[in-house]
């Protein structure tokens, strides 16, 4: 097995020819080579390999055929890769022994394998030597094809052949600055599967996280952060297309990432982590207004408009905030299309993959997770006993603590025996109820500000109607708040630490 350490970037087709000409300080280039590559990806009709984190491909370069098995690893930078030569374009599973595919191999699997999609690219490869490292630049122009349809490929990869990851990321930043290229965490296989399924650029949701019980806390964080990073980064294109759900999903991915950083705070290097946290906070802020207005329109104003009176005022409010929502969506799109966002992607990946745990702080993930959950649940339970005395800001902070525990339960669930997961599910459900109630109360505060703004800034012709509609909205939410507090109080009274422990 070999482990690839590579970074893939996408770039506008018009800029692709300039990539190989990009001047790099302190780097020497070797001789370039070019070849045509035709690659066929195989799987079953139900994509059994993909569901198990594997890809199987056969690549033709001239008269040579190479079969490759790839497996997803715990990080976002490295992937396991097993290669073997073939005599033709048909996969040979007898040559996939001693690979992760081996456990799935049966005669039935061999019969059910079929081409899912193919890629055809013209690849230009150029070796780069910098300091003590050797990096290969591979520029690909071509297409992905499936079922009579195709889409273009315009990308390049930087693969570390030997040396330091720091050099790989330094060279990557040079290409980003000079070509406007964006780090692309989706592999060709992921894009191919999506294309073969008729998928388009739409909101991406969180993927399951499976932690191995033998992992250290530091390595477990790498697996978790890699997943949450892919979650928020995968929504960039849909946000540029002003997709409301993509904005929500990127915010969820960012919250999960920031929650993971908070949960594993004592095994993370403080200096480099501080800079990452600041950039994640910036991006979250760029999306906040768009999501806030969208929720206000969809969940509060919309139902009032449909229900009947006060129609004139509520429609005026709807029109006013619909315009603001469009503006906020465009701002979000500009943020994820900015150089700052492109730098964040590179910085985030380097930090996840190369950071080091503080000395004497790395422990096994099982005991670490158990201690973390117990401590945080007890703290929330204690604070929840004073719920009626908390200010809106204190309730908001309590909700965030609860949300972090729910994310932790999601991250760590696979560490527990199947028979113990019922208790975890029940705890997560109870926390979700509290979080939802406190979240709605927090939204009410934001909605009250927006409703007041609508009333105070309304034009003379609509001022009375908008003021009445605003008062109607605020009145509805004030009445609902009483029930929400009661529901949150009831759930918090029954909150208990877990009695089950992760498997050792």
Give the per-residue SS3 of 157-226. Answer: EEEEEECCHHHHHHHHHHHHHHHCCEECCCCHHHHHHHHHCCCCCCCCCCCCCCCCCCCEHHHHHHHHHH
Residue that is written with structure tokens 């709807």 in the block: 318
Residue 322's pLDDT is 86
Residue 2's pLDDT is 45
Report whether 32 contacts 126 (CB < 8 A).
yes
Secondary-structure class of domain 364-504 per CATH: mainly alpha
Q: How far apart are CA 31 and CA 340, in angstroms?
A: 33
CATH for 214-291+308-363 (1.10.3470, 1.20.120, 3.30.230, 1.10.1740) = 1.20.120
Radius of gyration from C-alpha coordinates of the chain: 26
Q: How far apart are CA 186 and CA 180, in angstroms?
A: 18
- Per-residue pLDDT tens, the chain, 504 aa: give them: 444 588 999 999 999 999 999 999 889 999 999 999 999 999 999 999 999 989 999 999 999 999 999 986 655 555 678 999 999 999 999 999 889 999 999 999 999 999 999 999 999 999 999 998 999 999 999 999 998 899 999 999 999 999 999 999 999 999 999 999 999 998 888 889 988 887 666 889 998 898 988 899 999 999 999 999 999 999 999 999 999 999 999 999 999 999 999 999 999 999 999 999 999 999 999 999 999 888 878 877 777 666 665 566 667 777 778 888 999 999 999 999 999 999 999 999 999 999 987 765 678 999 999 999 999 999 999 998 898 888 888 988 999 999 999 999 999 999 999 888 899 999 999 999 988 888 877 766 666 666 666 555 656 555 555 554 555 555 555 555 667 778 888 888 888 999 988 876
Q: How far apart are CA 174 and CA 78, in angstroms?
A: 21
Residue 297's pLDDT is 81
Residues in the chain, total: 504
Q: Is 51 helix (H, G, I), strand (E, B) or coil?
A: helix
Residue 1's pLDDT is 43
Task: State how beta strands 149-162 and 27-29 pair.
Answer: unpaired
Q: How far apart are CA 186 and CA 201, in angstroms?
A: 12
Cα angle: 137, vertex 140, 146; to 5 degrees: 145
The third-level CATH classification (topology) of the domain covering 2-200 is Hypothetical Protein Pfu-838710-001 (2.40.320)
Q: How far apart are CA 224 and CA 413, in angstroms?
A: 12
Residue 305's pLDDT is 60
Residue 413's pLDDT is 92
Residue 78's pLDDT is 55
Q: Where are the domains of the chain?
A: 2-200, 214-291+308-363, 364-504
Give 286: exposed, middle or buried? Use CB within 10 Å, 0-12, 13-18, 19+.
buried
Residue 439's pLDDT is 80
Helices (H) then strands (E): counts for the chain = 16, 10
Report whether 387 contacts 488 (CB < 8 A).
yes
């Amino acid at each position: 097995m070999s482990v690839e350490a590579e970074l893939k970037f996408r770039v506008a087709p018009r800029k692709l020819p300039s990539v190989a000409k990009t001047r790099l300080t302190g780097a020497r280039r070797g001789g370039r080579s070019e070849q045509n590559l035709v690659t066929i990806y195989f799987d079953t009709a139900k994509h059994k390999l993909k569901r198990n984190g594997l890809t199987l491909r056969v690549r033709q370069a001239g008269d040579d055929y190479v079969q490759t098995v790839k497996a997803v690893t715990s990080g976002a930078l490295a992937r396991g890769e097993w290669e073997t030569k073939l005599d033709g374009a048909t996969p040979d599973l007898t040559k996939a022994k001693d690979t992760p595919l081996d456990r799935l191999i049966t005669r039935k699997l061999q019969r059910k394998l079929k081409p899912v999609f193919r890629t055809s690219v013209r690849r230009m490869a150029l070796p780069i030597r910098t300091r003590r490292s050797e990096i290969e630049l591979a520029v690909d122009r071509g297409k992905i094809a499936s079922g009579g349809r195709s889409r273009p490929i315009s990308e390049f990869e930087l693969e570390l052949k030997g040396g330091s990851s720091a050099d790989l990321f330094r060279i990557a930043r040079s290409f980003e600055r000079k070509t406007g290229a964006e780090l692309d965490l989706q592999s060709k296989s992921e894009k191919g599967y999506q294309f073969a399924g008729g998928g388009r650029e739409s909101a991406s949701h969180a993927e399951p996280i499976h932690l191995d019980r033998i992992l250290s806390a530091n390595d477990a964080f790498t697996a978790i952060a890699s997943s949450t990073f892919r979650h928020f980064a995968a929504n960039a294109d849909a946000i540029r297309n002003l997709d409301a759900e993509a904005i929500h999903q990127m915010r969820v991915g960012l919250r999960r990432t920031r929650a993971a950083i908070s949960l594993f705070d004592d095994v993370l290097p403080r200096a480099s982590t501080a800079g990452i946290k600041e950039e994640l906070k910036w991006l979250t802020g760029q999306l906040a207004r768009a999501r806030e207005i969208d929720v206000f329109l969809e969940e509060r104003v919309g139902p009032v408009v449909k229900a009947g009176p006060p129609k004139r005022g509520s429609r005026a409010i709807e029109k006013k905030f619909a315009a603001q929502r469009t503006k906020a969506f465009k701002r979000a799109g500009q943020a994820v299309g900015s150089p700052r966002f492109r730098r964040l992607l590179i910085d985030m990946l380097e930090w996840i993959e190369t950071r080091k745990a503080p000395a004497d702080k790395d422990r096994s993930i099982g005991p670490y997770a158990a201690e973390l959950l117990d401590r945080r649940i007890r703290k929330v339970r204690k604070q929840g006993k004073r719920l009626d005395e908390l200010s809106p800001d204190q309730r908001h902070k309590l909700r965030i603590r609860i949300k972090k525990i729910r994310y932790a339960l999601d991250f760590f669930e696979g560490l527990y025996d199947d028979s113990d997961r019922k208790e975890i599910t029940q705890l997560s459900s109870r926390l979700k109820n509290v979080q939802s109630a406190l979240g709605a109360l927090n939204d009410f505060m934001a909605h009250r500000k927006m409703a007041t703004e609508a009333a105070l800034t309304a034009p003379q012709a609509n001022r009375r109607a908008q003021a009445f509609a605003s008062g109607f909205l605020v009145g509805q939410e004030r009445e609902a708040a009483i029930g929400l507090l009661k529901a949150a109080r009831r759930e918090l009274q029954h909150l208990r630490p877990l009695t089950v422990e992760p498997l050792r």
